Structure 1
């Protein structure tokens, strides 16, 4: 563990044993949200730490009920109302006295449909209007026929009382709100790098070409000198070539013209190109009389160095290529050594 804030949190928690998040945050002088986030991350790393939540169930239900009032179910439109003729008693049976209304009926409206009564056990079901009895069906309590069954709820969409439908705004994670969710442009992605700077990608000895680093660093690479062969420099540094080998020394300078520091070795992927198109990587040696490149080029700084190559004596070198990564791409720079 290298984070001093996490160490301070764990030390205070070890002293208290059990404490609320806001009390622990006040003790160490940190924001409660940051303390909660750090504790959850630490609990997932295998430490003997349990992060819990305690609440008042009744209070939470009351808060949810106040924030989301229950939706009222929709009632079907009864349609236009037609008043009965003056003095008439609607739906009065024969022989009924004026003003008669069946129990539960409202004047001017038809009475509610009554569900058919099931036949008592041991008695046949009621006959159909056309005569005869329907066959007994043990799976159904009511016989088939032109009966109007009362429905309690009209068909159609039914709204359940409770939380209203629709998107619920969940609290944002501090990491997500800062960097954005994965697989989006706000995350650092290697497959969405900025376009290389405009300008020529090829040149000759002495030319400065505009390049770009892996993090978008704005660089200028200049090929100053190519010593071929450089066997005497190789031997003066205490190295020995095998029979049939020769040494080549390349001198380059890299200038950082942007605000982003270049933290790689400038000649890490500086290669020689042979006549058959094969690259020759640099040798892991350095010369005392020709100092090598050092790691990193700060903004506004120009750094130079020498790169040593060992290759067969009969191999013809036609170009020098610089790339910010092992495989060449559109950001690679090439200097031709042929007239």
Structure 2
């Protein structure tokens, strides 16, 4: 008898803790590949467990992606030969050149030679194919490069609202409202104690969910401070009653705010606040400059 897969047990434990969560967020939390998580959950849902694995999407966005793929396929088919080769090319898998017969062939016949062209030979033009940005051509995850929206700004200052969108359909606006540095008085007023040489910092952010599905993760789950030497400072596991923390779960169209607390060496010089939808992906990372504090 084979025991339960420890990865499945860990996965189910996280699902039970979160209740409802998007697969990319669950994969990010567990440090797993989203495709592996999706495959495991789909398999587990057929074993009788009280769990539903579903899909939510932006219907119009999906239709646009499908239309782009179909348009590419139509253009490619119209400009190609029967085997997907541009016109004026050999269409067989192994084009063969006619054999050249030497002078005085004793075989009693001579192979007709193709007429010689006096001018420069024309080279068949290759039909340029549109570049794809992500996903295989023909899939709903594929869009043409010339259909991309203008890139959104990923850098700002205190008071700026920045936007991020992922291929999974998440569209979020995050605003850096305030940075209190130092915030020792707020920290100690809440009953906490700083060690000698430490200081507290409070960061106030707001998140607006512009996605068609709820955003299940904590809005400040990957919010961190960046020091002058490039090191990152993670949030402290504390909250202040005078500065309410973020809560998990942001409904479509909803804007929520919250405060994140940091404890760091008093001599640390900070340069920015950084927020990431997927840690390690620069395309899904936002940065606010705080050097003017």
Larger radius of gyration: 1
Identify the structure with the greater helix proportion.
2
Using the size of structure 2 for normalisation, the TM-score is: 0.49
Using the size of structure 1 for normalisation, the TM-score is: 0.42
Flag the structure with more relative contact order, 1 or 2, with Cα contacts below 8 A and sequence separation at least 6: 2
